[in-house]
Structure 1
Amino acid sequence: MEKGRVSYMSPKIQNEFISLTARVVRKSIIEAVQERKYFSILFDATPDTSHKEQLSQIIRTVNISTSGCFIEESFIDFIHFDKKKGLEISKIILAKLKSDGIDIKHCRGQGYDNGANMSGIYNGVQAHIKEANEFAVYMPCVAHSLNLVGQNAASKVLPAKLILGQIQSLYVFFSSSTERWNTLKPHVHKMLKSQSLTRWSSKADAVSAICEDFKGILDALQELINSETSNSETLASATAHLHQVSNFRFILGITIWNSILGRINFANVAVQAKEIDIGAAGKHMESLHIWLLEFRKNGYKISLELAKEKALPLGIEEDSGFAYRSTRNRIPARYRDSESVVVEPSQESNISRFEREFFLALVDKLILEFQGRFTSLYRTQEDFGFLWGKTLADSPTEYLEKAAADLALKYNDDLSPEGLVTEIGRLRTAVIPFLKDENLQNLHSTRAIDILNILTRNNLANVLYNCHTAIRIFLTLPVSVASNERSFSKLKLIKNYLRSTMGQERLSDLAILSIEHEKTALLSFDTLIHEFATAKCRRVPI
């Protein structure tokens, strides 16, 4: 290369080098999956910018190392598909795993969203994967299930649904005009947020924003009403919105929603972590369920006091906004006859009626939805829970042996019933001396990953082989498809409207280099260049 000149790779060479690097990263991930034996599959789909359906492939494994065991969820590929039925999608998944050299027989879990074509018990993908491997337990995405809990509950309680609709309408009003948006900015610390139909975390953000800056929003609406530059549409809409929200009913409604959605969002964020396991997810759901039961008892009283504190400085009366009417004359006079029943007006106060029709109805629906949504999560937690924590520490030997025998029968290809029953009697005394090494005070505070670390680091894996294997299987089971959702964020960045004609292979290569950037950073450029040079060598041996 001459001095002062820079050499660039041609587009063709760039593509080949990207493809080579991606192939090396993908190969290292697949080799790790094969070495660790047990894995779970996570698949989710979304359309890209060119309206092609992209299926995101994630493999969940447990990295076993003496330096520390941890859960890994690794991206493999984006797969273009145009099928919708469960049987067709399952064939695509099985074919992809086979081409990757990953044996479906070692799959111990499968995670998808709650769509019927994926989760159906007869014709869904999970049912067809189970035909190929009966040990591939289907775990519904906890985050999606939690979203459905809120969605189904709100859809059946009209006053609660109305509040969310008014919040969204307020966002649409301000965001549809730059003049209105700029008028709002000086009055608030947090801008209004839009709500998503599927992500209830967005509803938490939307309610939180209007709750924190309620006075500022009222001031912005009043400014638009008084402004001489506001057109007739803005004036009418601002007046209507001010009338809708500047009342005690609305303040009390957003206060209740803010408490509920904030607590749900806390659990929702927690279960989307890569390193979370079924046990921790189950505890988060139990904690949320207990909170709802407690909130039902005293939540309305607390919310009422908070709403009064917000309404008092604004001069909003406590009885404003409640449009309840007497039922005395519901039947028009012309249609009433002498036998018509006249109902006396209810003596129930507006505040009490709002508690019954909004608060209690909403919380009761949420609690009811909880009872059926997380059955498989709790069942799996119960199946494996005797291997660590309070159950291992306090349960009698007879209970532990029975739980061990039941689990071994369920996973008879991986666990020996006699071996696991024998080992469970030794596990408790075997791990206690090593608790301090893991900064654990006692056996009650242990988690599955803690027991696995103790067994691995202290050469107990071979002695307590069945216990070690059972915990590995448990940690492999998926909790959510949040990693697939995160891969979609990269998809939108890589294949944007400027690159809408990008090919499938290049898309997958760029995606794996970006998503698995930690593995990409560890690659040796010398090795890559050597492999590239070897592949491009044109010398013919004589």
Structure 2
Amino acid sequence: MTNKCIKGKNFFGFIQRIYTIFANSTKRWEILKDNVKAWSLKSLCQTRWESRVESVKAIKLQLVDVREALLQVGEKDNDAAIASEATSLAEKELSDFEFLVSTVVWYEVLNHVNIVSKKLRSKDMHLDNAITEIKKLIGYFKNYRETGFLKAIVEAKEIAIEMGIDPIFPQKRLLKGKKAISSLETRFEQFKEYDKVFGFLFPQNLRGIVDKDLKLYCHRLEKPLKFEERSDNDVEELYTKLKLFETLETNEFSNPKDVLKFLKELDYFPNASIAYRILLTIPVTVASAERSFSKLKFVKSYLRSTMTQKRLNGLAMISIENEILESIDYEELINQFAIKNARRASRIVG
């Protein structure tokens, strides 16, 4: 049960660490005996519930005394590591209100489970009675969740006041990283800006657009394509070519990629071709980095950890563009490579 819960594992880890500090030295054990009079600390056992009950009981009923013993170990022990660990346990874990609540809760739960466990191991226990006891145990857990936990907090507050500890739970540190929703909103804002600048070039938007609006969109496109008074596109020429382009049969085009293919074949609209190439390139820049990182774990394995950057780039490109790679004719590629050098051609081709 405790291994399934991180807080439970940490709690019993602290209990075992406290016991180990004293048990590994006779001098430290004497310090413990001088402060703890009633119940001696017990080590945890993975197979016996009783050991967990006794180990928690010794801490829960003697928290003040155990903390004082740890503080003395921190002051007197010659081992710097042990002294530091003892002081840390006393001033942090045993002085933490959440740890006090956990101590009260685990003691109550383990003690009740231990009582039921002893009944079930009795030789006189019949099957019907065993089922009844198990049902009672389940009912106890349900009731403890509703009312028992609140009582545990009240008891822990009383212990905290006795120990001079603030009876409040520590505030968890909030992560300052971007939330997924915020990241998505930023991404959508980027696409809205993209649509505002390049949206008019999509075939369904270009059809039927009035001249005044078309000219306005062309001027709006000039700004992001401009650098130090130089632009990748001539606004007036782009406007003229797009007007002329409207007169052609463009109903068969469903996306900008089809338009760019047509413009390349026509070889008459250089400014429009540049605009469409930029339009189709921007979405790639949004996703290419994420795609590269997702492929990197496949490419740079443990056996390839010492490869050069050039080789890594090449393997990453092959992995990312594997569909294109599968369609390449290797024989033709080898021949083209060999033809560029006469000596190479004689070795490979001839």
Using structure 2 for the length normalisation, give the TM-score: 0.49
Higher RCO by CA contacts (8 Å cutoff, separation 6 or greater): 1
Q: What is the TM-score normalised by the length of structure 1?
A: 0.32
Larger radius of gyration: 2
More helix by share: 2
